[in-house]
Amino acid sequence: MSMPSITELLTAWREAERRWERLPPDEDVRAARMAVVAAWAEYQDAAIPADSDEFLLVADDEGTYVGATRGVARVLGYESAEIVGLRIQDVAVPALRAGTPREWSAFLAAGRQDGTFGLTAKDGHPVSLRYQARAHHPVPGFHVSRLWPERER
């Protein structure tokens, strides 16, 4: 089976957004937003170079991962589907876990955050990462972080 083209993935993302935008308020908006997140993540996966150490994580309002690009496997050892359902504080390095809920709330209030953060790889080793996080992207109620390993200077 051939991989969809960037154009096909962009079209799928936009179609998912249009379906979500047209939903009446009493419909299942979360499912429609999740479809947008999934289509957006697939598009991002195709747009990020295959050999890049950059990856994206998408979390819901509670800080639970709902999506990830393939690069998470190269950097943290988790397949995209394995990290879905884990909370940020579950994967944060032990020293940051207690403060993660407070930091998450501050991020949601600010709407943007850039900096460094430590996550625990699947095999248990700590990974220092740089990140750029944006709240309510790609759709309201979901929040994306673009991450890449911090390089020693």
- pLDDT tens, 119-142? 999 999 999 999 999 999 998 899
Q: What is the pLDDT of residue 72?
A: 96
Between CA 58 and CA 148 the distance in angstroms is: 14
38, two tokens = 């999934």
With a CB cutoff of 8 Å and minimum separation 6, the contacts of 1 are none
Low-confidence spans in the chain with pLDDT less than 70: 1, 10, 13, 20, 23-27, 152-153
Pairing of strands 55-60, 126-134: unpaired
- Give me the sign of the Cα torsion angle 69, 33, 107, 66: negative
Q: What is the pLDDT of residue 60?
A: 96
Q: What is the pTM of this model?
A: 0.83
**Domains located in the chain, CATH noted:** 6-149 (3.30.450.20)
Residue 24 preceded by cis peptide, ω within 30: no
Among candidate residues 4, 25, 2, the one with its CA nearest the CA of residue 15: 4
Q: What is the pLDDT of residue 153?
A: 43
Q: CA angle at residue 69 from 68 to 73, to 5 degrees?
A: 95
Q: What is the pLDDT of residue 152?
A: 54
